[in-house]
């Protein structure tokens, strides 16, 4: 069986990779993003995903998934990015869903220095929300949950990989 290494042991991310690419063995490894605990823009979020993927073993596909926030025209958006590196060191990038977050969360992140997950736990009373539905689940009444976003990103990454290989799995 082919291997995919994921630069995280987060349950939502592991579930997403397994759903998106079911014919691979998914191995989660805890690695550092080497960016702030709460990435504050797209560049930092992409860099965190890339850093995660780069630290993984090279005998399989390597995926880094990173969640962050991005300020745009005064509104704070939740953002998600992924990077896939294949065994030949080709790098693929994909971004995901964006929705605006509340002013309270914006204040918690920028004025109090909290991570999105901590701010979400405070307003939602849901412990360990980042391993469950995430902010997206909370703000969409669970119409979309955190693993759904990462499934989409992983499919975008894997699809680019397959395209480069000529459509062959």
CA–CA separation, 113 and 38 (whole Å): 9
For the stretch 10-31, pLDDT in tens is: 999 999 999 999 999 999 999 9
For residues 81-102, average pLDDT:
97
Q: How far apart are CA 42 and CA 79, in angstroms?
A: 7
- What is the pLDDT at residue 167? 79
pTM attached to this predicted model: 0.94
Question: What values do phi and psi take at 75, rounded to 5?
Answer: -100, 140
Banded model confidence at residue 131, pLDDT cuts 50, 70, 90:
confident
**pLDDT of residue 88 exceeding 90:** yes
| 169 has pLDDT over 90 | no
Domains defined for the chain, CATH in brackets:
2-99+146-164 (3.90.950.10)
Q: Name the band, by pLDDT with cuts 50, 70 and 90, for residue 45.
A: very high
Answer whether residue 168 shows pLDDT above 80.
no
Q: What is the mean pLDDT of residues 72-89?
A: 97
CB distance 160 to 86 below 8 Å: no
What pLDDT score was predicted for residue 164?
A: 94
Mean pLDDT for the stretch of residues 135-162: 96
pLDDT at 86 over 90: yes
Summarize the confidence of residues 128-132 as an average pLDDT. Answer: 89
Q: Does residue 122 have a pLDDT over 80? A: yes
More confident residue, 169 or 65: 65
Is residue 50 within 8 A of residue 31, CB to CB? The reply is no
């Amino acid at each position: 069986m082919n291997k995919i290494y994921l630069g995280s042991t987060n349950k939502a991310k592991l579930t997403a990779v397994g759903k998106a690419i079911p014919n691979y063995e998914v191995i989660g490894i805890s690695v550092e993003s080497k960016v702030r605990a709460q990435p504050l823009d797209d560049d930092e979020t992409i860099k965190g995903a890339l850093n995660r993927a780069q630290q993984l073993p090279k005998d399989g596909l390597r995926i880094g998934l990173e969640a962050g926030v991005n300020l745009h025209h005064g509104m704070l958006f939740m953002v998600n990015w992924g990077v896939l590196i294949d065994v030949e060191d080709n790098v693929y990038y994909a971004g995901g869903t964006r929705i605006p977050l509340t002013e309270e969360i914006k204040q918690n992140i920028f004025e109090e220095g909290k991570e999105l997950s901590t701010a979400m736990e405070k307003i939602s009373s849901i412990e360990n929300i980042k391993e469950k539905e995430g902010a997206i689940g909370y703000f969409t009444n669970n119409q979309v949950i955190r693993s759904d976003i990462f499934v989409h990103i992983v499919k975008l990454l894997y699809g680019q990989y397959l395209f480069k290989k000529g459509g062959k799995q």
